Amino acid sequence: MQEKVDKEISKILETAYSEALVIVRKEKKVMDKVVEALLKKETLDKDEFEKIVGKKNGS
């Protein structure tokens, strides 16, 4: 039973990791802009962050 649980957990983690890689690759340019701003200023408030990445849907 434990082996079955371990396999299912591994499958879930592999799927989540793959999805995360897709998102990171897709959003790399935006993330680079955030990094650049943080290196210049160290912190960003909500408005500054949203100016770079856009507003969250549903807000």
CA distance 36 to 52: 11
- Give per-residue pLDDT as tens, 1-47: 999 999 999 999 999 999 999 999 999 999 999 999 999 999 999 99
For position 58, what pLDDT does the model report?
Answer: 61
Answer whether residue 40 is part of any domain.
yes
In a domain, residue 48? The reply is: yes
Does residue 4 lie in a domain region?
A: no
Per 3-state DSSP, the chain is made up of helix, strand and coil in percentages (nearest 5) of: 80, 0, 20
Establish if 36 belongs to a structural domain: yes
Determine the structural domain holding residue 37 and report its residue range: 29-53
Tell me the pTM.
Answer: 0.64
How far, in Å, CA of 34 to CA of 22, rounded? 18
Does any domain span residue 12? no
Domain total of the chain:
1
**Rounded alpha-carbon distances, angstroms, from residue 52 to 2, 23, 49:** 46, 17, 5
Whether 38 is covered by a domain: the verdict is yes
Percent of the chain at pLDDT above 90? 90
Residue 31 burial (C-beta neighbours within 10 Å; 0-12, 13-18, 19+): middle
Whether 43 maps to a domain, the answer reads: yes
